[in-house]
Amino acid sequence: MVTLQTMDTIFYEAQRQGRISFYVTTIGEEAINIASAAAVTSDDFVFPQYREPGVLIWRGFTPQEFASQCFGNRADYGKGRQMPIHYGSNKHKYFTVSSTIATQIPQAVGAAYSLKMDKKDACVVTYFGDGGTSEGDFHAGLNFAAVTEAPVIFICRNNGWAISTPTSDQFRSDGIAVRGQAYGVRSIRVDGNDALAMYSAVHTARKMAVNEHRPILIEAVTYRVGHHSTSDDSTKYRPADEIEWWRMARDPVTRFRKWIESNGWWSGEAETQLRSSIRSQLLLAIQMAEKVEKPPVKELFTDVYDDLPSNLREQEKLLRETISRHPQDYPADVPH
């Protein structure tokens, strides 16, 4: 959780400095990320939204891999085609983030159904926000899962806001969990800022999903302390003192730290050393990622078709001609 918190601070600052184009923080939702990741196994597949980088941290995605993606350099697994924070990793069974809201939900159910048909001892975990439950894909996905009895865990981060739209303007039901029950999906509401509660709920949900072949919905109640993204100023639509109260009084990282300190497992000195070490690693990763060459122009057109069709060959030809005529308008660090 400290790594995630520190990474958010440094990468957010990098965006404000103009070094990367976009960023999304997970401030206030660290426990949901890390505790849920710890409660499942490396055999389980993850279909994220865009506020779950902590799951990748837990699975071993390195600071350098995060930085490479955000800078879109040659080492980025997406070859620079995606916006920053749209991570994906085959080796970590973490499907690439998609900006479009809730599309991952029915996809996750389909993947879970395939695991069931193949008799795999694994499940699928998919994440989304309260705003995602206002999309049709949420309803289609839950019904699909219930009918096929797919081993999928739906984790809704009910953080109160879909960008600037509060939950009161989205629905009048008693939260999200009741919707799962309406579709015949076993559902529970959890304090998303309590790492232990999240771990317990997801750990139990995984047992049910895999052993009983059933979907589970977990509504994790939390608060989005940060702005929706670097393109947003949340003080325009919610009180600054409300944000500050959640930041100071309800911070899940501080809450967990106090608990482990009270058990004698942690100390202020250890905390200081950890934060300093992580900060140094992240700053170094950014410095290295900035120096790595960008993917070549040809990568814009590959990896969709086995044999490049004529229309894409024509587009590539026109792009190269345009770059040759107007080199001043294109980044010098992108190989042609």
Closest C-alpha to 117, from 140, 148, 95: 148
CB contact at 8 A, 243 and 235? yes
Annotated active-site positions, please? 13, 99, 228-229
Sheet containing 152-158, strands listed edge to edge, beginning at the edge strand earlier in sequence: 45-47, 124-129, 152-158, 216-221, 186-191
DSSP state of 328: G
List CB contacts of 258: < 8 A, sequence separation 6 or more: none
How many Å from the N-terminal Cα to the C-terminal Cα in the chain? 40
Residue carrying the six token digits 């608060």? 223
From residue 115, give the alpha-carbon distance in Å to each of 44, 151, 309: 10, 8, 34
Neighbours of 302 (CB within 10 A): 14
